[in-house]
Chain A
């Protein structure tokens, strides 16, 4: 293990961490601005030019609020909850490939903190751990609304994890790898000229998996909304019934951690959707750029493509938030267990059959 490798990875980890935080920070601002725009308003535009310093003002506000700890027998768990939620939200960004490779002074640098071959499972594992942050926080608050919110949140997240995992399996059957980098590299370019083979003739088709697995994409998208507790599935914190849900008792930066982690989760899930279904750092004409201008230019454009897709995903989250009304809890559970899971299984069976008949 040479020192340059460690240095390179450290820099990537730091940059990824900084970018994740920055994007989550500006998602909070973007949420408010987009919410305003969807409602024919302007949104916050006073703090700094165009209101761009608003997140800093929010941060100062959060930090200077009274840090209240309710009378609970579990002070440690009360503090541990938001910490855990935040940590798990941040961990999953480590396996996401943000770009292809850069070649600097003969060294090939992969723009990814860790390329492990079970990356997608790793993400699922981390997401499933994220439930504990909510459950512990809600339970340690010693408040029945918090507990109800926590129970709702965790049962919702567990239920939708199943459908999410099943929808991914169909994608994995096509990609034949669990590594996120591998999955992205399978979606090379934009149009795959040899996608469909009939006899000896090849028909072109789009190489991105959203065109190959539209049903899996739809299921994954719906599950991602439920996993991040976003509208229309924001039942854990529905104000009309549960005061504030699992973070009713939280104040100051501990509340900030919960809210902030939600935006990080949004960012990570948008990145995952971009990677799994929209080709990640692939974009039309990337081979031409790579051959004519240079590998590094192609890679940087790819990073741009990746972030454009991810940011559009975040915008989509906000767009849906101001369009679709909240589901009722039984509707949520029915959708998860009785519709999405059977659909995902059907999708697996159909994909399996298609893969079997086309690969021979």
Chain B
């Protein structure tokens, strides 16, 4: 049975003693020299800084950034305004209104129903990715980009003009 005082969960426990310092310790200078050696070693170390606009840190493959509303291979929007993303959203950041597809809009919207407005409040969004999982049409995805800063709150409410994938944008 060990004394409870000697238990160390981290394995790095150090006993604190109140013994008097030796003369060399009281001089402080050897300790200061040692410390200065450590700082000098850091002086010549490779630097951890990433110079942001030029260099970028690689995100992890599962990074969840700002949303994108996908188009299909013909360039028609996939979203059918079913509202499952809004329902699944724990932060209640998504709102939309649905509309019926008119004649002659088949190349714009994939199915008969589509979202006439689709807004995500980026100040509410917690980037959990539940909308992505809930979507039955594989329409909404979270990309690797960050949501940029803005000066006004209105700027953070992203409408379709910011969310829908650009037609000329070939990548996923």
Query: B-contacting residues of A (Cβ < 8 Å)?
Result: 34, 36-42, 218, 319-320, 322-324
* CB-defined contacts of B116 to chain A, threshold 8 Å: none
Alpha-carbon gap, A322 to B45, bound state (A) = 15
* CB-defined contacts of B48 to chain A, threshold 8 Å: 40-41
Contact B43 A38 (CB under 8 A): yes
Contact B42 A42 (CB under 8 A): no
Name A323's contact: one of B32, B46, B51 (CB within 8 Å): B32
Interface: B49 (CB within 8 A): yes
Question: Chain B nearest CB: distance from A36 CB in Å?
Answer: 8
Question: Chain A nearest CB: distance from B43 CB in Å?
Answer: 5
Nearest to B44 among chain A residues (CB) is A37
Name B47's contact: one of A40, A218, A319, A324 (CB within 8 Å): A40
- 20 residue pairs from A and B, CB less than 8 Å apart: A37-B42, A37-B43, A37-B47, A38-B39, A40-B45, A40-B47, A41-B47, A41-B48, A42-B47, A42-B49, A42-B51, A218-B29, A319-B39, A319-B40, A319-B43, A322-B39, A323-B32, A323-B35, A323-B38, A323-B39
Question: Chain B nearest CB: distance from A315 CB in Å?
Answer: 10
Name A320's contact: one of B36, B46, B51 (CB within 8 Å): B36
Name B42's contact: one of A40, A218, A320, A324 (CB within 8 Å): A40
Contact A323 B36 (CB under 8 A): yes
Question: Chain B nearest CB: distance from A35 CB in Å?
Answer: 10
Please, what's the 1-or-0 string for B18-41, where 1 marks a CB less than 8 Å from any CB in chain A?
000000000001001001101110
Query: A-contacting residues of B (Cβ < 8 Å)?
Result: 29, 32, 35-36, 38-40, 42-43, 45-49, 51
Question: Chain B nearest CB: distance from A332 CB in Å?
Answer: 13
Question: Chain A nearest CB: distance from B135 CB in Å?
Answer: 42
* CB-defined contacts of B29 to chain A, threshold 8 Å: 218
* CB-defined contacts of A42 to chain B, threshold 8 Å: 47, 49, 51
Alpha-carbon gap, A36 to B49, bound state (A) = 10
Alpha-carbon gap, A38 to B51, bound state (A) = 18
Nearest to B40 among chain A residues (CB) is A319
| 4 tightest A-B CB contacts, nearest first | A42-B49, A323-B35, A323-B39, A323-B36
Alpha-carbon gap, A41 to B42, bound state (A) = 10
Contact B40 A324 (CB under 8 A): no
Alpha-carbon gap, A308 to B40, bound state (A) = 19
Question: Chain B nearest CB: distance from A89 CB in Å?
Answer: 27
* CB-defined contacts of B46 to chain A, threshold 8 Å: 40
* CB-defined contacts of B38 to chain A, threshold 8 Å: 323
Contact A324 B43 (CB under 8 A): no
Nearest to B43 among chain A residues (CB) is A37
Question: Chain B nearest CB: distance from A152 CB in Å?
Answer: 22
Contact B49 A41 (CB under 8 A): yes
* CB-defined contacts of B39 to chain A, threshold 8 Å: 38, 319, 322-323
* CB-defined contacts of B45 to chain A, threshold 8 Å: 40
Contact A38 B42 (CB under 8 A): yes
Nearest to A315 among chain B residues (CB) is B43
Alpha-carbon gap, A40 to B44, bound state (A) = 8
Question: Chain A nearest CB: distance from B2 CB in Å?
Answer: 35
Alpha-carbon gap, A39 to B47, bound state (A) = 9
Alpha-carbon gap, A34 to B39, bound state (A) = 11
Nearest to A42 among chain B residues (CB) is B49
Question: Chain B nearest CB: distance from A242 CB in Å?
Answer: 25
